[in-house]
Structure 1
């Protein structure tokens, strides 16, 4: 039992000493940069943006002509019988015929009722929409990243608080031993002090385990080596002035990513209407061809074999007007108009939801910021109470139970302050995300 106690007594100090000597600091800026470079969700969204960028290029627009090369050859061998009235039948065996051909054909759609024009503009707007969707992924990932990052910071500060509390308990064990040796207290005071040290040691070990687990969560977000735990984080937290936050909220309708996505979807639906209407207009196309043919024919009953070669250039204009297509164009146009109206309704819904979310997030942020300031005062009060109780304990004016309670109160106040600080910061980041400014501020 004594060996177990000594192990619990010494282990946290050894771990703390090793970590202090080995760990480097991973700053918030470095974590964000690593997420932008290596996070799987962001990589996937970047690939989707790249696909949309390819789709909106001139190579996918339909504005370029098509050039087709054709080539072919044929060979046949025949037996031929020619009967001439009053004369002998002419038999020809193994008569060979060869045909070689090649051509270059150019097709260009000169006018298609402006469908190609608006489809091209729609592809460009879809690229813009894909960038907004990628931005939304980045914002959500950064918010998730900072949540894990600040949890690591909170656990680091809690570990410091727990380590200080355990040191206080260790000093109390030493004091209790001296008091017992001089007959001032009984052995029960020593045992109680040792139990408190054991409890503090267990709490410290559990906090370290939770810290390592949370570090692994951060490593997954940053695509780092899973067992790379030898780093610390920045525990500094600053808050934006409320006036600046109010100004950002006033501009939320211009910067919120969901509202911008809705506007982009409306633009695409408007182009879809115009693309559908292009079916009412004719299309004009240009064609051109340059060809070469060679025909090597076998002899006939009246002519010897011959070789004929031809080359030629041709060009033409095609006009196509689908005067009636069974109503398909009419239905497509009607459906496109309905979809446009749907997108406008969705935008109104999104704007309403965003205003609600901002109001809720701002209220949550103000409450958590108030709780943080209250917890700061609470720590000052509990620290003063603990110092007074500690002095009285040394003078023998309060019991070890009262001293332990003051110690626990201070411990709880300090850990609650850590929690309130990072909760308030995350609430602020949520407000910034909703106003579309999360990527434009320092964390």
Structure 2
């Protein structure tokens, strides 16, 4: 018996000491940490950076294209030449050298407004990326709340089980003393031992679950999974607007609806871009060229050099491309209609989710108050049961039932507290006001 109690004590002492050596990691600190380290948020931010790069002037199509070229050639040949007057000449080592260089600039003067709509689309892609980043941040905040409260709840379960072990240990000691002095039975002592053993097993399993929840939480925020911490079990609730106010806010701010609207705008630009391909294009070009050559005596000119500016204007019009562009326009129109239908579906889906979430919140609010009263009742009941048990007025079964009832009441209250907070943040997310 003494060995068993020593094992339980050492286990509890080790966990308590480890926890006291760790600093409290608040929910607010967790969210701030995740904004910098969460893997999904970092990827979303990089995707936004890519979209920002693609909207820069260098990718706009409004800058000219400039190219330069140059070359040189050399030949050493033996030549036999017959001239028009009948004379002939043989030249050994006829050397020919030529050099050239040019710089050319090209610019699209008109492209059917394809560049304009293309740039507008890239700006909307940037906005879409920013919205997707916001969505990822909101989803991560929800995950952080869920995982943080899992850790906090499990911590309280562990603490409640420690109380159970203490009460069960006291009960076993009392049963042993009664048996020793002939006031109790062996059955009472065995029942107390069994209950203490069950509490100790539950305690070990709860510690395992607590460590698992901590590792899962660290993974969510992007931290080394083995880093230890202590949660703050205090929950601060925020006032929740009325249901109609939440519904109205969700119509304009819910991230799913905003994304659906954005996708429709993208489809409209796709239609304009494909229509612009049907219009003519005008390109202008200008170049400066230089050429020089040194020729052998057999050539008409022994040396030649030229330089100058060349300008050009080109119009092209793809009058008929086999119908592929017309097909793209039709496809873009159908895609837009599908996205409009999707917007209608999302609008009803969000409305349903807000109504469901609001009902969940109101029930969670009622449950928390009921569980608070239930804890007070069970604490009073257990206190009286302890006194009656010490006086031998009730059985061990009745004492154990009061102990279990108090344990369940404490756990249910803790769970209700965290469930209400999660219901609250879910409502704010659906209303589009989670990020303020």
TM-score (structure 2 length as normaliser): 0.94
Equivalent residue in structure 2 for 1:323, among 319, 323, 327: 319
Equivalent residue in structure 2 for 1:358, among 340, 354, 371: 354
Alpha-carbon distance change, 236 to 344 in structure 1, aligned in 2, over 3 angstroms: same
Q: Within 2, Cα distance between the matches of 1:86 and 1:41?
A: 85
Per-residue deviation at 1:84? 5.0
1:178-257 to 2 correspondences below 5 Å:
178-229=177-228, 231-243=229-241, 247-257=245-255
Q: Within 1, Cα distance between the matches of 2:251 and 2:398?
A: 56
Q: Within 2, Cα distance between the matches of 1:12 and 1:250?
A: 53
Equivalent residue in structure 2 for 1:349, among 339, 342, 345: 345
Q: Within 2, Cα distance between the matches of 1:105 and 1:84?
A: 39
State the partner residue of 1:398. 394
State the partner residue of 2:408. 412
For structure 2, the 5+ residue unaligned runs are: none
Provide the aligned C-alpha RMSD in A. 2.0
Q: Within 2, Cα distance between the matches of 1:85 and 1:51?
A: 68
Query: What is the CA deviation profile of residues 306-329 of structure 1, one whole-angstrom value per residue up to 9, with x for unaligned ones?
Result: 222222122232222333333333
State the partner residue of 1:80. 79
SS at match of 1:288: strand
1:36-435 to 2 correspondences below 5 Å:
36-84=35-83, 89-229=88-228, 231-243=229-241, 247-300=245-298, 306-435=302-431
SS at match of 1:110: strand
Q: Within 1, Cα distance between the matches of 2:369 and 2:58?
A: 59
Query: What is the CA deviation profile of residues 403-440 of structure 1, one whole-angstrom value per residue up to 9, with x for unaligned ones?
Result: 11111111111112212221222222222222222222
SS at match of 1:221: helix
SS at match of 2:104: strand
For structure 1, the 5+ residue unaligned runs are: none
Alpha-carbon distance change, 35 to 85 in structure 1, aligned in 2, over 3 angstroms: closer
Q: Within 1, Cα distance between the matches of 2:237 and 2:85?
A: 116
Per-residue deviation at 1:42? 1.2
Q: Within 1, Cα distance between the matches of 2:4 and 2:167?
A: 16
Per-residue deviation at 1:4? 4.9
Alpha-carbon distance change, 156 to 85 in structure 1, aligned in 2, over 3 angstroms: closer
Q: Which one is further off, 243-252 or 38-47?
A: 243-252
Q: Does 1:437 align with 2:433?
A: yes
Q: Within 2, Cα distance between the matches of 1:84 and 1:158?
A: 111
* Residue pair 1:12, 1:201 contacting (<8 A) in 2 also: no
Query: What is the CA deviation profile of residues 172-199 of structure 1, one whole-angstrom value per residue up to 9, with x for unaligned ones?
Result: 2232333333332134323322322222
Q: Which one is further off, 251-260 or 10-19?
A: 10-19
Per-residue deviation at 1:244? 5.6
Per-residue deviation at 1:224? 2.1
Per-residue deviation at 1:377? 2.0
Query: What is the CA deviation profile of residues 217-268 of structure 1, one whole-angstrom value per residue up to 9, with x for unaligned ones?
Result: 1121223222222x10111123333436653332111111111111111111
SS at match of 1:323: coil
Q: How many residues align structurally?
A: 436
Query: What is the CA deviation profile of residues 47-79 of structure 1, one whole-angstrom value per residue up to 9, with x for unaligned ones?
Result: 111111111111111011111111112222333
TM-score (structure 1 length as normaliser): 0.92
Per-residue deviation at 1:88? 5.7
Query: What is the CA deviation profile of residues 373-416 of structure 1, one whole-angstrom value per residue up to 9, with x for unaligned ones?
Result: 22222222222221221221122110111111111111111112
Q: Which one is further off, 266-275 or 357-366?
A: 357-366
SS at match of 1:236: coil
Q: Within 2, Cα distance between the matches of 1:87 and 1:276?
A: 67
Query: What is the CA deviation profile of residues 125-184 of structure 1, one whole-angstrom value per residue up to 9, with x for unaligned ones?
Result: 011001111211221122112111100000111111111122122222232333333332
Q: Which one is further off, 284-293 or 181-190?
A: 181-190
* Residue pair 2:72, 2:98 contacting (<8 A) in 1 also: yes
